[in-house]
Amino acid sequence: MTIKEIQEEIIDEFSMFDDWMQRYEYMIELGKSLPLIAEQYKTDDNLIKGCQSKVWVHAELDGDKLVFTADSDAIITKGIIAILVRTFSNQKPQDIIDADVEFIDEIGLKEHLSPTRANGLVSMIKQLKLYAVAYQTQLK
Amino acid sequence: MIGTTLDIQAIRKDFPILQREVNGKPLVYLDNAATSQTPQQVIDVIVDYYQRYNANIHRGVHTLSQEATDAYEAARQKIQKHFNIAHSREVIFTSGTTHGINLVATGSTSFLKEGDEVLVSAMEHHSNIVPWQMLCERTGATLKVIPMNLEGELVMEEYHNLLSDRTRLVFCNHVSNALGTINPIEEIIEAAHKVGAAVLIDGAQAAAHIKPDLQALDVDFYTVSAHKMCGPTGVGVLYGKEEWLKKLPPYQGGGEMIAEVTFEKTTYADLPHKFEAGTPNISGGIAFGAALDYMNSIGFDAIAQYEDELLNYATEQLLTIDGLKIYGTAAHKTSVISFNIEGIHPYDIGTIVDKLGIAVRTGHHCAQPIMDFYQIPGTVRASFSFYNTKEEVDKLVEGVTRARNMLL
């Protein structure tokens, strides 16, 4: 599936819910399906700055695709990073670089997109894209 | 039932912001330790200033400038009276507590040398740690820490042991922002003076709950921020004993703080202007005076008594939630409750209760050493003011319970 298709699938899933509580509960559920980062990568170097809770992300190439694993000590943050990892993992670095994240707005999590928000969704997106840029250079 | 002589519903009507909704729910504002809300009486003073007599102070000969100067100086006198300060020249307007602390820390550079010791309490806000660390780096003095116990109280025996003829300065907050502990500052000040050390008390968290008598305390420096006590942001006061303020060099150079300037030499203005370079926050200073009037019209005794009842009720109710632990259980506390629920990150609780219209603070509260002490990433902090109600405590308990059920 392309990034766009995955995003549409997520939008579709969230459209079933009519209030914030159900959306958050689903996000927490999604957090449980997050491909967890191996303990050895849970280092300060892999911590994303700008989050009130801890978020670790690791990336590695599988052929020409980038695979992300992550974890967080806060469950809502874990749900957010799970949504991002589901969108961007197993994609080509260039596609990750080119992707937009407007779907966040459509699934009712727009409030998390503010750059001043302490959970650092913006920092998380930036970090995933930075990995993509780094590996894109390596692929070349 | 919470007993009080105050008409809380009438008081709430003074605060326009308390009428608003957040996420479709009536706002329950429980982040008063970060900033308190502003009553209409104070907002009116700010508006009136800009509508009627906005002018630069202390220099214009025109009527507006004179009116603004009179109002600003009248505010200084109100502050002097409120804190029972001997002279209005000992009241220095600042941008807030952090500014006041930095003013003293920077100015103390010339008094300290290698081998001198500076004591700071284990429960300080970063604002009352970092400036002193910087001071010690500049001078070679040593920073020593007054430890605390698990209840969140300073270990006074250790404090007395740390004091010596090498101690030059002691810094401590009157009330801890993260835990609510009211520290025994009378004892701290008296003991420091016995070894010839000066004391700065950070009163940012105390001044909204306690009316300190600074002359009786005999404290050398005391700092407050207006925005924690129903005033505007960006203004505060540093009190300093005249003898100390005379010894300290100016903090910033500029307008207002000079007597005479030539390119060869500048002489400085008298107190308090020596420390008030540049155009100050004029409307803010005037509004700070109005905020004190407002709080005094309610009465600090009644405020303290009511907030204590809210604290006790909230503590009792929150503790009924399974797995909830309160950090900071000192015998003397202001209306601040820092807590966590076992197995849940404080950030998650804060996010869920925000969706329910409840404003609490989450995180390390700019007091990382305290979080390290308890080995936790942070806490949820609910802090109550005199305009909060028992019903709002119930909503908090309900919200936290709901968050717990969602998150566990």
Instruction: Give the separation between CA B237 and CA B295, rounded to whole angstroms.
Output: 17
Report pLDDT for B267: 83
Cβ contact, residue pair B345, A73, below 8 Å: yes
pLDDT in tens, A80-114: 999 999 999 999 999 999 999 889 888 877 777 66
Q: What is the dihedral of CA A105, A108, A114, A115, to 10 degrees?
A: -70
CA angle (B292, B222, B282) in 5-degree steps: 50
Nearest residue, CB atoms, B345 vs list A20, A25, A53: A53
> How far apart are the C-alpha atoms of B147 and B162, rounded to whole Å?
10
Task: Compare CB distances from B348 to A20, A21, A74 and report the shortest one's residue.
Answer: A74
pLDDT of residue B48: 98
Integer Cα distance of A104 and A98 in angstroms: 16
DSSP output for B265-314: -EEEPPTTGGG--S---HHHHHHHHHHHHHHHHH-HHHHHHHHHHHHHHH
What span, in angstroms and rounded, lies between the C-alpha atoms of B123 and B171? 11
The reply to whether residue B351 touches residue A76, judged by beta carbons under 8 angstroms, is yes
- Is the confidence at residue A120, as pLDDT, over 80? no
SS3 A102: coil
Closest-CA residue of B relative to A25 is: B406
Three-class DSSP category at B325:
strand
CB atoms < 10 A from the CB of A6, how many? Answer: 19
Confidence band for A50, pLDDT divided at 50, 70 and 90: low
Q: Cα-atom radius of gyration of chain B, to the nearest Å?
A: 22
pLDDT, residue A113, reads 60
Strands B324-327 and B266-268: unpaired
How many Å lie between the alpha carbon of B368 and the closest alpha carbon of chain A?
Answer: 13
What CA–CA distance (Å, rounded) separates B197 from B195?
A: 6
Residues in B 2-61 with any Cβ partner in A closer than 8 A = 23
Token duo for residue B213: 């008598």
Tens place of pLDDT for every residue, chain B, 408 residues? 577 889 999 999 999 999 999 989 999 999 999 999 999 999 999 999 999 999 999 877 899 999 999 999 999 999 999 999 999 999 999 999 999 999 999 999 988 999 999 999 999 998 889 999 999 999 999 999 999 999 999 999 999 999 999 999 999 999 999 999 999 999 999 999 999 999 999 999 999 999 999 999 999 999 999 999 999 999 999 999 999 999 999 888 877 787 888 888 888 888 999 999 889 999 999 999 999 999 999 999 999 999 999 999 999 999 999 999 999 999 999 999 999 999 999 999 999 999 999 999 998 888 889 999 999 989 999 999 999 999 999 999 999 999 999 998
Question: Average pLDDT, stretch A53-59?
Answer: 93
Q: Does B259 touch chain A (CB under 8 A)?
A: no
A42: three-class secondary structure by DSSP: coil
Looking at the structure, give the CATH architecture of the domain made up of residues B44-296.
3-Layer(aba) Sandwich (3.40)
Nearest to A100 by CA among A3, A10, A30: A3
Question: Domain B8-30+299-407 is of which CATH architecture?
Answer: Alpha-Beta Complex (3.90)
Buried b (16+ CB within 10 A) or exposed e, B340-372: bbeebbbbbbbbbbbbbbbbbbbbbbbbbbbbe
Residues of A taking part in catalysis = 51
Contact between B348 and A119 using a beta-carbon 8 Å cutoff: no
In angstroms, the first-to-last Cα distance of chain A is: 23
Compute φ and ψ for B329, nearest 5 degrees. Answer: -125, 35
C-beta of residue B171 within 8 angstroms of C-beta of residue B200:
yes
DSSP A38: P
CA angle centred on B318, ends B315 and B321, rounded to 5°:
145
Cα angle at B297 between B292 and B301, to 5 degrees? 90
Cα atoms in the Cβ-side hemisphere of radius 13 Å centred on B254: 8
Distances in Å between the Cα of B42 and the Cα atoms of A81, B170, B229 are 44, 35, 11
| Contact between A52 and B378 using a beta-carbon 8 Å cutoff | yes
Residue B236: the pLDDT is: 98
Nearest to B363 among A52, A75, A77 (CB): A52
Res B226: pLDDT: 98
B138 contact A CB<8A: no
* Confidence at residue A57, expressed as pLDDT on a 0 to 100 scale: 96
Burial string for A75-100 (b: 16+ CB within 10 Å, else e) reads: bbbbbbbbbbbbbbbebbbebbeebe
Place of tokens 């559920």: A29
Strands (E) in chain A, as ranges, are: 55-62, 65-72
Residues in chain B closer than 8 A to A75 (CB atoms):
344-345, 348, 407
> Could you state, in order of their start, the residue ranges of all structural domains in chain B?
8-30+299-407, 44-296
Q: Which of B344, B352, B377 sits opposite A24 (nearest CB)?
A: B352
Distance CA A80, CA A64 (A): 25
Cβ burial, residue B35 (10 Å; 0-12/13-18/19+)? middle
Report how far residue B385's alpha carbon sits from residue B115's, in angstroms, rounded to the nearest whole number: 44
**Residue B261, pLDDT score:** 85
- Looking at residue B55, what is its pLDDT? 95
Q: For residue A2, what are the CA distances in angstroms to A5, B96, B100? A: 5, 53, 56
Tokens of B272: 């308090």
Catalytic residue among B136, B172, B230, B366: B366
As a whole number of angstroms, the distance between CA A58 and CA A46 comes to 7
Give contacts of B 331-360 with A, CB under 8 A.
344-345, 347-348, 351-352, 355
The pLDDT score that the predictor gives to residue A105 is: 86
CA distance B53 to B67: 7
Mean of pLDDT values over A39-57? 88
Contacts of B345 in chain A (CB under 8 A): 53, 73-75, 77
- Supply the pLDDT for residue B253: 81
CB < 8 Å & 24+ apart, contacts of B267-273: B270/B89, B271/B89, B271/B90, B271/B92, B271/B242, B271/B245, B271/B246, B272/B76, B272/B88, B272/B89, B272/B90, B272/B91, B272/B92, B272/B93, B272/B245, B273/B58
The span from the CA of B120 to the CA of B172, in Å, is: 6
Go through the domains of chain A in sequence order and give each one's CATH number: 3-139 (3.90.1010.10)
Query: How high is the pLDDT of residue B252?
Result: 83
